[in-house]
Amino acid sequence: MLYNFVVFVVVMFLAGLSLWLLSVAVAPRDPHPVKEDTYECGLPAPEPIIASVNFQYYFYAIIFIAMDIAGVFFVLYSIGKGDPKFGWIFILFSLLLMIPLSYIMVGGNRR
Tell me if 111 is assigned to some domain: no
Band (99; pLDDT cuts 50, 70, 90)? confident
* Residue 110 phi, psi dihedral angles, 5° rounding: -90, 150
CB half-sphere exposure, 30, CA atoms < 13 A: 0
**pLDDT value, residue 70:** 82
List, for residues 50-79, the tens digit of each pLDDT value.
Answer: 767 667 777 778 878 888 888 887 777 777
Closest CA relative to residue 77, chosen from 58, 92, 96, 90: 90
| pLDDT higher than 90, residue 7 | yes
Q: Name the residue range of residue 30's domain.
A: 2-106
Number of domains in the chain: 1
Q: What is the mean pLDDT of residues 10-16?
A: 96
**pLDDT value, residue 13:** 96
**pLDDT value, residue 22:** 94
